[in-house]
Structure 1
Amino acid sequence: MSAGVTRMLNRKWMTLIALGACLSLSACGSSSTKKDENPAVKATGATTNEAAIKAFENAVSVYEKSEGKNLEQVQSYLEEALSEDARFGKAWFNLGVIQERRGLRDEARTSYQKALDVSPALGSALVNLGMMKWEDGSPSEARDLFNQAVQADNFNPAAHSNISAFYRMDDDHRNAVRHARLSLAGDSQNVDAYANLAKTYYAMKAYDVALLVCLNAEKIDPNKADIYNIMGMIWLAKNDVTEAIRQFRRALEKDPKHVAALMNLGAVILNVRDYEGAISLFEQVLALEPKNTEAKISIAVAKRGLGDLDAARALYEEVKAVEPENASVQFNLGVMEHEHMAQNAMIGLGQGDAPADPIAQMDWTIGNMEKALQHYEKAIEHYRNFLAYDREVDQEAQKEANERITQVQQLIQVTGEQIPQLKEQKIMIQQDMKAAEEAEAQAAAEEKAAAEAAAAQESAEETGTAPPTPTE
């Protein structure tokens, strides 16, 4: 269920909160047409320029009426506001938000920086720059920017919420809870802060408290998919699979593209061996996130369950090509070699029917056992790779891997002892068969000699001549 736990920051939430919060401040300032250079006014990102305020209000109106769709027109009005007052910090910030939504990331960075240049207290600009660093794969730089944001704006709810998430990832639950509460102090309706708080209590195994936090968040925003996903994880931890599935499905009803809910529901479905249903859910994840290795590995596990080992192996190898030291791939390859490939080899699956000839049949059986030994050796290699690559040091998984290594070693020992015994039995059977063949040949020769003697006696009697006397 790691997908629901580790998904930390939600870019869409950040931009929505940032845009909505700042655009709602459009009434700040007076109706003066003179550009006010008052440092106190500029520090907040506001303006007293009447034309700039009017253009900004037009941007708000277009944004709201188009439900956030007519971004080009919104951008045009924001640029107009800035042409009236180039030191209008909130306009620079919201221009960055719109540019980022339009995929103009470089321009957005520039606008956020200009917002900070004229209004250093605009912590939200630092938050969004931090989010861009996070998306670019630089979490430490993102964290630094979030910390700078709270230094610039002590009660910035988004910054505190994201800092809380980082502390949660560090397993520093005390600070995670503290920053989540600071986020709520800045915005008591911040559902994402509630989500971080609930995830922290979940990580602390305080499931009832986490559930209570989720229920409070649901009252604020009953359409927040993440809250239902967290409740699903909580109920799963409380061993109520039915309720967990119901909550994951609720999350997907609110947001069909909620990756964590898709992954979590897929994992539950996979666990009850609905392999085709699980594959469908994980494929939806890949449609949204083509590079999601966890989804690929999960599909491979389902394929393995369906008996399509070639397809499973192909997916594992695909992930290995990108992540050579992926611990999960190694563990699952070990399981496949151990529980499937070795067993299939042992029973001769895919090798045709066993020969009717007993000696050929024993050779067939010994050959299958030798192939099984090769798969067992590969399984141990993969399990040991898992132990070496498991960066998170999952104690439970490492214990299972060690137990599997011991189990496979025992199978190797037993199988290795059986092969020479079978070879000895084969020799004994061959000797018995040879002796039987010799005895049969001797009996046939004696029978032939007796028949010939009887025939000669009969002939002699018919002709009246005595049979020849043997000479000494």
Structure 2
Amino acid sequence: SYTKSKGPDNSIVWTPIAVAVFLVAVATLCKEQGITVVGICCVYEVFIAQGYTFPVLWDTTLQILMGKGSIPYSMLQTLLKLIVLMFSTLLLVVVRVQVIQSQLPVFTRFDNPAAVSTTPARQLTFNYLLPVNAWLLLNPSELCCDWTMGTIPLIESILDIRNLATLLFYFLLGYLIVFSVRYSGDSSKTVLMALCLIILPFIPASNLFFPVGFVVAERVLYVPSMGFCMLVAHGWKKLSSNGRLRTLSWIFLALVVFTHAIKTFNRNWDWESEYTLFTSALKVNKNNAKLWNNVGHALENEKNYERALRFFKKATEVQPDDIGAHMNVGRTYKNLNRSKEAEESYLIAKALMPQVIPGKKYAARVAPNHLNVYINLANLIRANESRLEEADQLYRQAISMRPDFKQAYISRGELLLKMNKPLEAREAYIKALELDRMNADLWYNLAIVYIELKDPSEALRNFNQALELNPRHKLALFNSALLMQESGSARLRPEAKRRLLTYVEEEPHDANGYFNLGMLAMDEKKDTEAEVWMKKAIQLHHCFRSALFNLALLYSQTSRELEALPVLDELLRFYPDHSKGLILKGDILMNQKKDIKGAKKCFEKIVEMDPNNVQGKHNLCVVYFEERDLIKAEKCLVETLALAPHEEYIQRHLSIVRGKIMALNTAGQSVPPKEGALTLPEQKKIQKKKKKKKKKKKKKKKKK
């Protein structure tokens, strides 16, 4: 676009310039290197479009300074273009600084060891990295996905042999720059543009203006490789134009293309997965702890914790002071349920953390992810109920080091709930929300706190806030619907149903969603719909305790007691001590099937499990009454009334039993102890018959 900014009459065409500036802005938003295109445009304008050379510019400048001439009009046009381009660049830089809030990213000494080294190691190493990058362009054989940490040892002495590579690089670069700006031929212009594409996009990654988070990064060589290819192509063109070297140049070109094609093909297999990528990097460099960690992460993602642990341990051997490596070891031990070893690893990582320096911001000197060592250690030890206070101290320590550490507030809120401190938990979550009000999980957690505080209306408000941010937040959908259902408000039931239906769309294999839909339908007297939902819940979870009981209860309430019995049998097969199930089964057996013995077994089991179960004991009393064992029924009801002295129905039944007993006594009959017992006259007749038989036996003996 920018190449069209010069009109046929050497006038300025502003549209291509505006388009170029817009594209530079878009490129900068994608990657910081995009802003360097402005520098390339400036070089193109001066040396290519206007055709100036350095000697011409130098002579013109001297004449103007000495007052021997004025600025040519064409040069004024060039200056105007350059001013527009530079102003646009400055504006983009200001915007970029505002985006990062005037703070550079936090890097550790492991990311770029040279950046924290002393003089002269810092300068010597940074300068040596330039020929290293040039060598990667010239011979991209030993490629590595990560060049941080100990990949390239520091140059700590001027006598280091690697300094010769730095001197050779600067000599060749200086020669090419002088050649390109001194002469005006096509060859020099080609070399100049190639150098611009190599040098300018590389400047942000060169550590010249600010430290970066890597030693070498192959990705920053993508644009410079375009300039390098231009140099190679230009050099090959020069060679091939020589008659004696033409054949040889073609052979070398074919060889380069063939070898690079083979390398590209083989390299594709390295990128098959994270594991293959990082293991291929270890073939190039075994002194980078980050690579060992990354192989461990790849294995960890595959749940291969034993192998992952070996790589994480190797990382700690390669870089003993790497906090992240020790954290990885601790996390893997935790996944292997080896809590003691996990705690030891976390404590090592914690001991390696930088010490707090009075008057200096701690957050500026430590990588944010390293603070997770406090969170991980606290999460580990809080599994022990006796160490909850110790875990809380770790969370508070992390917060004191970085007051905007959101995860520390979240984890501390969870712990405080576990410690039955909902008010403090609420404060922790409110602080976290001040840092991130768009986090649906935080609003959900705060709602749970309000449930603990017995404030359902505020809990529902926070659930609703979570759902505004994330309409398909599964836990908020389910728990808010449950809260609406428990409120008993008929007005809230349609919304509760809508949320549960959305929940089962998200979690189609969770039986709880279908069960609660069934309970809602029962509340609305939609028995057929309730039956469908309950059966769906049981289908997904065949031993779903609540679903089995409520389906049986539904059958009982809709006069389908006999259909309820097999459901109750299934319930009691899985949960033989289910009191309500036993009561319901006993009622059905006694009232519908007239199976007094079966009902009695159910009620006796309830009383055996819980002698203070009023309903079970009362029903057993009714069984005694049905068996006509009035004395036992009376005694049973007296005991039951002692458990629930204000229950009117027990008093009424006791009065009925006592009335029966009194009526029998008034009639001169003994109280029958159980069903089928003989009356008093019948008992006397039997006794007379027994006496007669005894007399007959005595007479026979006398005759003998």
Instruction: Name the TM-score, length of structure 1 as normaliser.
Output: 0.54
Structure 2 runs not aligned, ≥5 long? 1-103, 112-211, 215-287, 313-326, 332-341, 354-365, 400-404, 590-597, 672-679, 689-704
Please tell me whether the aligned partners of residues 124 and 158 of structure 1 are also in contact (alpha carbons under 8 angstroms). no
Give the secondary structure class of the aligned counterpart of 2:668. Answer: helix
Q: Which has the larger radius of gyration?
A: 2
Question: Is 2:484 the counterpart of 1:201?
Answer: yes
Shift of residue 282 of structure 1?
A: 5.2
Amino acid at match of 1:412: V
Aligned 1:34-113 pairs, distance under 5 A: 34=109, 61-62=298-299, 64-66=301-303, 76=329, 78=331, 83=349, 86=353, 88-94=370-376, 113=393
Q: 1:158 to 1:193 in 2, by over 3 A?
A: same
Q: 1:128 to 1:258 in 2, by over 3 A?
A: farther
Shift of residue 196 of structure 1?
A: 1.6
Question: Is 2:615 the counterpart of 1:331?
Answer: yes
Aligned to 2:630: 369
Distance 1:56 1:151 in 2: 36
Instruction: Pick one of 380, 383, 402 that aligns with 2:641.
Output: 380
Aligned to 1:301: 583
Shift of residue 111 of structure 1?
A: 5.6
Structure 1 runs not aligned, ≥5 long? 1-28, 37-47, 134-140, 287-294, 347-367, 388-400, 438-472
Question: Is 2:518 the counterpart of 1:232?
Answer: yes
Shift of residue 217 of structure 1?
A: 2.5
Question: Is 2:400 the counterpart of 1:147?
Answer: no
Please tell me whether the aligned partners of residues 568 and 585 of structure 2 are also in contact (alpha carbons under 8 angstroms). no
Aligned to 1:13: none
Give the secondary structure class of the aligned counterpart of 1:223. Answer: coil
* CA displacement, residues 291-321 of structure 1 (integer Å, 9 cap, x when unaligned): xxxx63234425635525356434444345x
Size of the alignment, in residue pairs? Answer: 329
CA RMSD across the alignment: 4.8
Question: Is 2:398 the counterpart of 1:118?
Answer: yes
Q: 1:261 to 1:380 in 2, by over 3 A?
A: same
Aligned to 1:455: none
Please tell me whether the aligned partners of residues 146 and 159 of structure 1 are also in contact (alpha carbons under 8 angstroms). no
Distance 2:450 2:213 in 1: 42
Aligned to 2:458: 175
Q: 1:125 to 1:167 in 2, by over 3 A?
A: closer
Distance 2:456 2:465 in 1: 14
* CA displacement, residues 408-447 of structure 1 (integer Å, 9 cap, x when unaligned): 1441353144123321799xx97xx99xx9xxxxxxxxxx
Amino acid at match of 1:336: L
Aligned to 1:318: 609
Amino acid at match of 1:129: L
Instruction: Pick one of 108, 117, 123 that aligns with 1:33.
Output: 108
Give the secondary structure class of the aligned counterpart of 2:578. Answer: helix
Please tell me whether the aligned partners of residues 637 and 650 of structure 2 are also in contact (alpha carbons under 8 angstroms). no
Distance 1:116 1:175 in 2: 27
Instruction: Name the TM-score, length of structure 2 as normaliser.
Output: 0.38
Amino acid at match of 1:296: H
Q: 1:83 to 1:262 in 2, by over 3 A?
A: farther
Distance 2:294 2:472 in 1: 24
Identity of aligned residues (%): 13
Q: 1:408 to 1:157 in 2, by over 3 A?
A: farther
Distance 1:258 1:96 in 2: 35
Shift of residue 92 of structure 1?
A: 4.1
Please tell me whether the aligned partners of residues 511 and 536 of structure 2 are also in contact (alpha carbons under 8 angstroms). yes
Which stretch of structure 1 is more off in the superposition, 55-64 or 179-188? 55-64
Distance 2:430 2:544 in 1: 32
Distance 2:393 2:301 in 1: 26
Shift of residue 343 of structure 1?
A: 2.0
Q: 1:254 to 1:296 in 2, by over 3 A?
A: closer
* CA displacement, residues 214-236 of structure 1 (integer Å, 9 cap, x when unaligned): 12233333334432222121112
Please tell me whether the aligned partners of residues 224 and 254 of structure 1 are also in contact (alpha carbons under 8 angstroms). yes
Give the secondary structure class of the aligned counterpart of 1:332. Answer: helix
Instruction: Pick one of 492, 496, 499 that aligns with 1:210.
Output: 496
Between the two structures, name the one with larger relative contact order (CA 8 Å, sep ≥ 6): 1
Q: 1:335 to 1:315 in 2, by over 3 A?
A: closer
Shift of residue 405 of structure 1?
A: 2.9
